[in-house]
Structure formats: structure tokens, C-alpha cells
Amino acid sequence: MATNFTVILFQRQHFGNDPGTFDDIEPDVPFAGSAKNFSFDCADVDPGETAVLMFQSRDVDHRRNILRINGVDVFGGLPVSPARDAWNANVLLIEPHHQLKATGNVLHVESRTSSGESTGDVDDFIIDNVVIVYKILDVSLPSITGDLAAFLENELLRSITNVKGSGDEADPADRHNEYVLPTESQLAAWRVVFRNLLAGSWAQAHLQAKRISSTYNVVRYIDTLSGRTHYVLMEGVPGHIPDPARHSSGVTITDPSNPARRGWGTYLFDPQPQRAVSLSAPHPKDDLETAEEAIEGYLALHARTLLIAGADRDQNTSLAPCAQSARPYFESDVAHVAESVFQMAFEEIYSSDAVTWHLQFHGNSTCIEDVFLSNGVASAPQILSSLAANIAAASTAAAASGPVLTSRVFDATGGCFARGTDNMQMRFASGLPHTSICAPPNLPVGPSRFIHMEQRRDARRAADDPAATPGRNRAVVIAGILATFS
């Protein structure tokens, strides 16, 4: 069985109650105090197998100090040091009852007195170079080598049923409730899947996803055009995507073995992204060519993640339970439903760091500007203005004196009313807790790292579309994004 390792601690730590104890032999060692927790991940760990904890220690005086992993004492604890002037090399076993997991493990180190009390003259000691070696799951991911863009655009997107018309005018003949409603417990389980994907625990995520729905896989996809590897959470595998399934309104599927397609979306992860950017397309089909634009942008930017909804926003016939507008939102519209797998993915990705920018592509015919950017609040971050200017500059540079795209940012002076303020991802990014994003009056509460991009038709056209011009197509929009997030 293969193994992996995680470095939990790479800098010496002094535990105890006397910061000056080691000034004579370790004058610069950081003082941790009497207790400290260290969080660590174990990508693709097999929790049923024994792991090995290795570390160095110095001047441990007794056996009453505490060493725990995930709240469980490590057998043997902190071994007593034979001498103050020597380092100990320690090897301890971490057993299945410590319940190692792919993400969120905790090593707890605590200094105690010789009688085991937490107060008084606790022991002063140093630990360093803490490493855990563990066995990984014996799982073979589905692996594909091919043209990733071609697969996504020509196979994945084409597998989504197109609903002719939009909103009130959606064609009933195309609406078959193909989007299955996820249950509360399924959504909680999906959060764990996305946390594992973010931690690079591909095998763990693959197994967990299949426990929710056997239709889902984590596919290792090697893109022949770039040579880069991507991990794709999707229904089926390339070449074998299950057909959409027709249902009555409000259907849930709790049996993981049920082969029916769920319509919960496709999620791509680049394990070595070059830009802290995440792109999303919540309205494939209805917002024409926004999914294609998101795919091309993800690959061009070498972005961190890409989220693509798994059904037309008008596929289901029941109204969404969250904030509505003059244009009706249905329960298959993941930009306007709080309890969706798409929302779980967004929330976990957004919350996983404080630097990634999240761009979401939309289409409309009502804004005056070709590209209208919104952060949901009038005091938008400066980067939105930079993005608008860079899109305009890219358009002008490509136009060669021909027609160009116009762009604008929602700010204190107003602008288009398609501002995304009732968008669930926008609301969460603004600082609203998940439990508050659905209620109609709960508008975004502050600036965020989310950019809602409304685009007229020409801004979404492929550069080789006969109706496109050199300065008016999605390639110049992507060029503007590249210039902004360089």
C-alpha cells in the first residue's frame, strides 16, 4: 500500500511557563505557552490503517505532558528526555481510533506538572520537526487524456437539455424536472467532498462523492493541448455521461445506487493554478455561451477552479423558494437557490482562502453596456474598475478602429439594474451567513471578492462567430480578465 506524509511542524516550539528557560542553549526558539493546537491534513489517508508520528524533543522531564491527535491520547505520549543537552528522536504509532481524515486533523501538545496538573510549575520542553507518515487509499481514479476544452464544450455542455425560451416563456415541452433536489444530509456530505478536493484528496473525494450518488466521479483529466492535469468532479466519465432523467416536480433521490442523473453540476480543480481566480457559469444554455466563455477563461488563466451548473435554469417547473424577481426563478436555477450542490461548492471554495477572486458569467439584453460588472454594493472594490478598463482596452486594441465593447461598474451613480443582489453566491460572498442568503430582503452587506458579470450577446460570442467583430467577442473579455489578474 502506498504512503504519503505531512509536515505538521517545521519550526521549534517551546512549551511551558518560563519563556527564558532555554536562552542558554536555544535563545531564539518561539515560545508557545503551555498548550497549542496544530492543524494538519492527510490527503487521501486510509483511516483504517496505522500511521507513524515522528518528531524531535528536548528536555521533557516526565510522562504527564499531553500529546493528542483528534482528541485522543497518543500511546506513549511525549517520551522523557535522557538529558537536557540532547535531542530525542521519537517514533509513535497513530492508530485507527485516532480517526485521521483528509482535512482538519488536530495535534494537541500541552505541558503539565509532574503530577499532571495544568496549572503550577509545568514542564518546559521543546519539540521540532513533527511529521506524520500515513497510508493512502488504494483507489484508482478514472483517468482520461484528451482535449479538455473540446470535451467540456462538445460533450458535457451538449448533455444538458436546452429549454427553449426563458422564464415565463420557457417551453413546457422541454421542461421535465431533470434537476433533482438534494437533501440536507446530502448537501452536508457534499461540503466534505469539496473540502477534500480543495486539499488535493482526490481519491477521498471520489469515494465520498460516490457514497452520495454513484453517478459522480472524480476524473483525472490530462489536457493534451497544455499538458496540464485537472481533476473533474462530474456525473459519469468522458464518453459515458448518463442521459438526463425525467421526474415529477420536487423529486429527491436518497439511494446512492440509483443510476438516474442528478444534474448537480461539474466542478474542475487545477492542482497547480497560476492565478487566484475561480470562474463559474450558473446558467448554461439559457445565458447563451456563458459556459463556453467560462471554460475558455478557466483554461486561459490557469485558474484555480471552474463551476458549471448541471441543468438549464428553467428545467424544473416549481419556483425557487428564495428571493424572486419579475423574471421567475425556478428550483433548478442554482444562482437563486440556497440549497444546491453548486452553492456548497462555491461556499467552500470562497471560504478556503482570502485572496481568490470569483468571476461569474451571465448574459442579458437589458443593460446598455456590453459588459456590466457588479459587486452587489455601490462601494465596489477598485479591481472592478480595473477590470472594466482592461476589457475596454483589450477591445480597442483588437478592434483596429472598428466597433468596440463598452463596460461599466455598478457604483454610487447607478447603472444597469442587473446587479446580482439576489444572487445566492453574491450574498454569501458579501458576508451574509448561509442561513440568511435566501430571504428576499437580505441584500449583500458589503464588498467582496465576487464579480457578477452581465454581458450582452456580442460580449459572449466566440471570436470566429460570423456575427462577431475583432473588437466585440468573448476573447477580448478574457484578455481583459488576463490583464487584470496577471
Kindly report the CATH number that applies to the domain delimited by 3-135. 2.60.120.1200
Sign of CA dihedral 417, 309, 360, 481: negative
What average pLDDT does the segment 388-400 reach? Answer: 97
Instruction: Give the span between the Cα atoms of 31 and 7, in whole angstroms.
Output: 20
- Which residue from 62, 76, 57 is spatially nearest to 112, judged by alpha carbons? 62
What's the mean pLDDT when you consider all of the chain?
A: 96
- Which residue from 250, 257, 262, 255 is spatially nearest to 179, judged by alpha carbons? 262
Instruction: Give the span between the Cα atoms of 427 and 63, in whole angstroms.
Output: 51
- Which residue from 41, 6, 40 is spatially nearest to 205, judged by alpha carbons? 41
Would you state the pLDDT for residue 413? 81
Taking CA atoms, 439 is separated from 202, 321, 336, 432, in Å, by 35, 9, 11, 11
Position of cell 447603472? 415
What average pLDDT does the segment 187-207 reach? Answer: 95
The domain locations on the chain are: 3-135, 143-484
Is the model's pLDDT at 384 over the cut of 90? Answer: yes
DSSP structural state of residue 236: S
DSSP structural state of residue 79: P
Would you state the pLDDT for residue 415? 84
Which one is predicted more confidently, 472 or 25? Answer: 472
Q: Tell me the three cell numbers of residue 333.
A: 436555477
Q: Tell me the three cell numbers of residue 83.
A: 538529558
Whether 290 and 460 have beta carbons less than 8 Å apart is answered as yes
Instruction: Give the span between the Cα atoms of 152 and 163, in whole angstroms.
Output: 19
Q: pLDDT tens digits for 103-127?
A: 899 999 999 999 999 999 999 999 9
pLDDT band at residue 187 using 50, 70 and 90 as cut-offs: very high
Q: pLDDT tens digits for 204-246?
A: 999 999 999 999 999 999 999 999 999 999 999 999 999 999 9
Q: pLDDT tens digits for 6-32?
A: 999 999 999 999 999 999 888 889 999
pLDDT band at residue 138 using 50, 70 and 90 as cut-offs: confident
Would you state the pLDDT for residue 84? 74
Sign of CA dihedral 211, 213, 215, 219: negative
Pairing mode, if any, of strands 105-110 and 35-40?
A: antiparallel
What average pLDDT does the segment 320-338 reach? Answer: 96
Would you state the pLDDT for residue 85? 79
Instruction: Give the span between the Cα atoms of 196 and 192, in whole angstroms.
Output: 6
Cα 70 to chain centroid distance, Å, stands at: 24
Which one is predicted more confidently, 85 or 405? Answer: 405
Would you state the pLDDT for residue 94? 97
DSSP structural state of residue 371: E
pTM as predicted = 0.85
What average pLDDT does the segment 438-465 reach? Answer: 97
What residue type is 322 in one-letter code? C
Q: Which phi-psi region, left, alpha or beta, contains residue 189 (left: φ > 0; alpha: ψ -120 to 50)?
A: alpha
